[in-house]
Amino acid sequence: MQDWLGRTAPDEETIEQMARAALAELPPQFAPAAQEILLRVLDFPPEELLDEMGIENPFELTGLYEGIPLTEKSVMDVADRPDTIWLFRRPILDEWAERGDVTLGQLVAHVTIHELAHHFGWSDEEIARIDRWWE
C-alpha cells in the first residue's frame, strides 16, 4: 500500500503549469489566439460569480471563460480587462477524485481547452457535439 503521509494536493501554480502545457500542445492555427488570453487559477470561484451564475455549490464550476468571444469582437470594442480563462483548483481536484478514470493533467487540459473554445465563440452545445469527453 502506498504511503500518502506528507503528500499534498497540487497547488494553484501546478494546476496553471498543467494548463499552460495543454495550451502549448494546441495546433498552430489556434496557438496565436490562445497566447492572448490570461490564465488564472483560484481555489474556488468567487461568491459574487457563483451568485451571478445562480450556482449554489462552488464545486460545480471547474472553469470559466471571461471575455468577448472572437466571433463577437469588433475593432470598436473597448476592453476593460483582458480575456481570461479561470480554472478553479478545488472543484477540479474534486471532479478528478470522483471520476477516477483520467489523469489530473488530462482533466486540467480538458477544462482549459473547453474554456478556450468559448473564446473562439463556441457554445457549450457545440463543444459537446465535438468533444465526447463525458461519455
- Given pLDDT bands bounded at 50, 70 and 90, which one contains residue 108? very high
* CATH numbers and ranges of domains, the chain: 12-70+79-130 (3.30.2010.20)
Q: What pLDDT, on the 0 to 100 scale, is given for residue 1?
A: 58
- Nearest alpha carbon to residue 14 among 35, 37, 39, 41: 41
pLDDT over 90 at 40, yes or no? yes
Distance CA 103, CA 84 (A): 24
How many angstroms separate the CA atoms of 105 and 116, rounded?
16
**For residue 129, pLDDT beyond 80:** no
Whether this prediction's pTM lies above 0.95 is answered by no
